Each structure stands twice: as structure tokens, then as C-alpha cells.
Amino acid sequence: MHRSLGKAISMAGLVIGSLIVSASPSLAVIVSNGDVFPAGIGPGDANVSPFNVGGDFSAPGNGSVVVDDGSRLTVGPPIPFVNVAPLAGSNGTVTVTGTDAGGNPSTLRVEGTDGSAGAFLTVGRGGNGTLNIQDGAKVQVDTLGAPLVPATSGGFQVGRNPGSNGTVNIDGANSELSIDSDFAFGRIARDGQGEMNITNGGKLTYAGKNSVLSVSSAVFTPTNGTGVLNVNSGGTISGPVFLDVGGSQGGSGTVNLDGSTSSISLTGACTPDCPVGFSFPNQGAFITVGANQGTGTFNVTNGAKVSIDSSQTPNAEFPGFNLGGSSILGPKGDGTMNVVGDGSEVRVIGNRGFFSIGRLEEGKGALNISDGGQVILENGDGRSRGFVGDRPGADGRITVDGPDSLLDAGSFLGIGVDQGLNDAGGGTVTLKNGGVVKAADIQLGRGGRIGGNGTLMGDVTVGPQSVVAPGESTGEIVVDGDFIFQDGVLQLEANSLTDLDKLIVTGNAVFSGGVIEVLLGFVPDTADVLDFFSITGSTTFLPGFEGVVGRIAQGASVPLGTPISLALGGMIFQAVALAEPPVVYIFLVAFAALGVLRYRRRFG
């Protein structure tokens, strides 16, 4: 629900071809091969401005730099810019590695001390660039304390220009890329190809207000970048407020977060003076996947954790995530999130937690939770809400697969309704193998559908032109709450008296509109009664309820006009099976053996 930064910065500078900086006198050497500028850096700590590896801006080149043994290389004013492979055809590699004998890390520091320039690290600006941070080393981009605005902040870019390729590897315990800046940005793939790998305890950290991490995302800007962010084997990301994945027109972004010790933690909120067009004041931490006509995929696997937490920021609201479209980044995106494996989790913490799957016109979103994965809005203030297909033309889909797999939307889940509870786009929730969807209130609007095998924890309200269909063929849905059937279609399939759909309601059931559609896949005997329902509380029928229609299941050898009898709420509903379109024949028959129909109405 915000935009990411991406202002092109014009960077000019010198050339370094091959350079080794080392603090230990016995290892203090500078090795130069090819075009190397400036000359004479080292043998210990060094200060330069700017710093370009693999050519300058007049001609491409080839170069590499190694900072080792606790050395410190600082790039500062007047031009605190680092460019690795500045031009097309250039090749550059920077490796910052290890510590000295006392444990002091080798460090590359990009330092902006005033607000006129900012501080920038670009890997693969025009050519092929690589940055390796390993074995406890540090790379720091720091502008905190400078009077900054978004255009002169600090950050990094990986794969900036068309045709460029950039790679950043952060590997090993305490190896760290830190971005300390207000309006800090990190962009993996703008118009080029960008990849970041954070592994084996490596860290990407942010400090400062209004920070953004983007994986192929540029607001309302046509780009063709492809970005990949891999975080695994204990890698972590902490501190950014916003994370955008695949938010560029024509771009594609992917995040792979894997392993029980790997995590991504977003914190804070946009400030009360949040700039117009960047987000809105007090917007909580947020992830957007697939927006602005871009494509995004976010995979959380094998026990990895995503935390979106604005609970410690005063007045922050609406932390959460969008899949497929954004009111800030732009509509018409295609976003997918897969949360797979026991312990894998996406957790939203803070006031008015929020998610939307299929956001805005023509947005396409899919949330797939399986094998014990969980997505949870903590709902501490009782106002968290989730939406599936929340605008006309949007398409949102949720699949929850497995008995330990959970989607918890907190207070409300709207399927095919918008945030004003009006009918909206297409929203589908599919339960498989006992998957669980939880919300205090679950509401289906026009275009909403729930199907499959699993549990809905909360009161379920079925509205006009929506569908509830237990089973993938035949199966069972448990409503752990009340079932309010106001309109739409309750679709039930029967292949025999024992092989048929079940709707189990632990609370009360109210049928005030809509129709029950029976798909008949066998020929019942005249006395057979189909028993689809188990309702613990009362069952109430109101005059708008349209009763039962029967039609022949696809491929079934059932004669037209085959009688159907259905038991519900102490009544027998009768119909005959007809082909499409079904013609309704409804007869209510008092069935003494099941008791007398009692009309009860539930309020509250």
C-alpha cells in the first residue's frame, strides 16, 4: 500500500581494476591489474570518493577489489557513490571478507554526511557486477544525521540499467549489509537482472524512517527487470517498513525464504508527515506482491518466518500485505504467496491488520497455505480484516491444504466483497485435506465461493450469487459457528446414500434466501432420503428461502425426472433431477419422524 523509491541518480567516478586492501602489515598489499584508480590506496584503511570498480563512465573495464583482514575502506563526500560495473560491457567484483585477529570486521563503508548527495551502492549499474560480503565482514551505507529527503537518501541497487546483471552475496554469521538512512531504499533489479542471496547467518538490516526494499519494483514505471531475493540457512532481513515484490510494469520479482532459522521482519510505519505519493501517514509495515502490471512471487518454506509488525509504533494502522494490485504502486498486478511446511508463517501484528488477495481492478492474487503453514492476523484490537477479490474485475484465490494449515483473518474475511462490504470481484477459498480458515465473521458476496474439505471457524454469511460447495468431488465442510444462508447457491453432490457431501454446523443455521442445488450422481430408491446436514443448534427457514433444485451430475446415468428427497431441519425437501438449466420443483413435506419444523430467529 505504498510506493518504493527509485529515482535515478547520476553517478560519475574513477576506475579501480584490481585492488586488495589489508590492515595487517604482513598482508598489507594492493594488487592492481589493468585499469586501477585511484592508485596508492592502502596498505591499511583508506578513504576515497567516489569508488568505481570495472571501468569508469567513459569506457567499460574489468576489475576486482578484495577488502580483507579487518581493513576499512570508506567512500565518503563529496561523492559517496560506489559503482560496480558502471557501463555495459564492464565486469566488476568487490569482496569484503573476514575479520582481523581481534575480531574487527573488514568493512566497506559508504558515508553521506550532508543532504545534497546521499550515499549509494550500485552493483551492476550497466554491466556485470558482484558484491560478496562474507565471513563476518560488513558493508555499510550510512546517511543518518544528514538532512535528507527521498531523492537524496541512502541505499543500494542491484541490476540497474537495461542489460545489466548484479549479484550480492551475504554469507556467514555476522556478515552484514546495513542501510542506515531515512527514506532508505534497496532495489534488486530495476531495468536489469538482480539477485541477492543471504545465507548461513548473513544479514540485511535497515535503520531509519520510511524505508523500502524492492525486488523488481518501480512505481508507475515501465521496466523489464527480473529480481530474485533468496534468504535461507539462517539468513535474515530486519528493519524495512515496506517490501515490494514485482511492482514494475513488465517486471518480475521473486522472494524465496527458506528454513526454520531464516526470517524477514518488517517494522514501523510511514511517518505522520509521510510524503504524498510515497504512502499515507501512519501506514503500517506492508508487503506488496505483484502490482503496477508486474508479477511477483513470495515463497515461505520449511519453517521460515515473516513478521509484519507495527505494534510498537504509535498511531500506526493497517500493517499487512497485498497480492495482485496496490492503491499506491498501481493496479493490474499478478501476485502469489506460498506458505509451505510446518512452522512456516506470515504473521501481521498491529492495529487494523489487513490483507487483500486480488486488489483493485484486474488484480490477480493467490495465497496458497499447505503442509502446516500458517498466515495470521493477530487482531489485538479486534479490527483486523482480510479480503479476497476486493474490487470489480479482481480475482483472488486462497487455498488452505492440510489439517495444521491455517489462515486466520481475525475479525472479518470478505470473499467477493470490498472494504465497504459491497459486492466486488471474484473471490475463491478452497479447503483441502482439513485446512482451516478462521475469522469471527466470514462473508461471501457476489462472485464469492467456498469449496473443498476443511473447517471454517467463525460465522458464515452467504450472499447473492455466491456459492458454497463442500468437497472437491464429495467432501465435508465444517462451519464452527453459525451458518446464515441469505442468498446464492449451496451446492451438494450425492453419489450414493453414504458417498455425499456434508455440511456440519456447530451453531445455528438460518435459511432466508437462495437455493440448495443437489447434483445427483446415482438413482436413489423411492424411500431414500439424502442427509447432507448436521446442525447442532436450531434451524430456521424464512420466507425468502427458495428450497431445493435437482440436476444430474455431469457424466451420471440418471434419468430425467428422478425424484430427490433431502432432509434438513426437521423437514423433507423434494425435487426432481433435471438437466441444465435446472427447473425448480419444490415441495415441503412435514416428516413426523424427524419432528415438527420450528421457526426460530437468532439475534445478536
Summarize pLDDT for 527-576 with one digit per residue, the tens.
Answer: 999 999 999 999 999 999 999 999 998 889 999 999 999 999 999 999 99
Q: Are residues 263 and 376 in the same domain?
A: yes
**pLDDT computed for residue 222 by the predictor:** 58
Same domain, 244 and 140: no
**Residue 45 belongs to a domain:** yes
If we measure between CA atoms, which residue out of 269, 268, 263, 244 comes closest to residue 254? Answer: 244
CA of residue 581 relative to chain centroid, distance: 40
Out of 369, 404, 439, a domain closes at 439
Number of domains in the chain: 3
Confirm whether 461 is domain-assigned: no
Specify the 3-state DSSP secondary structure of 592: helix
pLDDT level of residue 218 (50, 70, 90 thresholds): low
- Highest-pLDDT range among 102-116, 389-403, 428-442, 588-602: 428-442
Examine the domain organization and report whether 308 and 401 are in the same domain.
yes
* Predicted local distance difference test score (pLDDT) of residue 42: 60
> Does residue 445 belong to any structural domain of this protein?
no
Higher pLDDT, 393 or 505: 505
Single out the residue of 338, 260, 262, 336 nearest to residue 302, CA to CA: 260
Residues 204 and 240 placed together within one structural domain of the fold: no
Task: Choose one of 187, 208, 229: the last residue of a domain.
Answer: 208
Please give the mean pLDDT across all residues of the chain.
Answer: 86
- Stretch among 10-24, 147-161, 217-231, 401-415 having the lowest mean pLDDT: 10-24
Identify whether 369 is part of a domain: yes
Most confident listed range (46-50, 78-82, 324-328): 78-82
Q: Do 130 and 45 belong to one domain?
A: yes
Expressed as residue numbers, the domain containing 311 is 216-439
Q: Are 94 and 145 in a shared domain?
A: yes
Tens of pLDDT, residue by residue over 155-210, are 999 999 999 999 999 999 999 999 998 888 899 998 999 999 999 999 999 998 89
Q: Please tell me whether residues 426 and 551 are part of one structural domain.
A: no
**Residue 315 or residue 392, greater confidence:** 315
**Mean pLDDT score, 592-596:** 30
Indicate whether 69 and 172 sit together in one domain: yes
Q: Are residues 203 and 245 in the same domain?
A: no
User: What local confidence, expressed as pLDDT, does residue 47 receive?
Assistant: 84
CA distance 225 to 483: 47
**Within-domain flag for 457:** no
How many Cα atoms within 13 Å fall on the side-chain side of residue 555?
3
Residue ranges of E strands in 235-301: 236-238, 242-245, 252-258, 263-267, 286-289, 295-301
470 within domain boundaries: no
What pLDDT sits at residue 25? Answer: 41
The answer on pLDDT for 221 being more than 70 is: no
Check whether residue 304 and residue 433 sit in a common domain: yes
Q: Which residues of 154-168 are buried (b: 16+ CB within 10 A; e: fewer)?
A: bbbbbbbbeebbbbb
**Last residue within a domain, chosen from 439, 472, 499:** 439
Task: Say if CB 568 and CB 597 are below 8 A apart.
Answer: no
466: pLDDT strictly greater than 90: yes
**Domain contains 434:** yes
Please determine, for residue 277, whether its predicted confidence score (pLDDT) is greater than 70: no
Does one domain contain both 59 and 154?
Answer: yes
| Whole-number pLDDT of residue 472 | 87
Question: Cβ(153)–Cβ(113) under 8 Å?
Answer: no
Q: Looking at the domain assignment, is residue 71 inside a domain?
A: yes
pLDDT of 48 = 85
Clarify whether residues 176 and 305 are in a common domain: no
Name the band, by pLDDT with cuts 50, 70 and 90, for residue 479. Answer: very high
Round to whole Å and give the CA distance between 564 and 574. Answer: 6
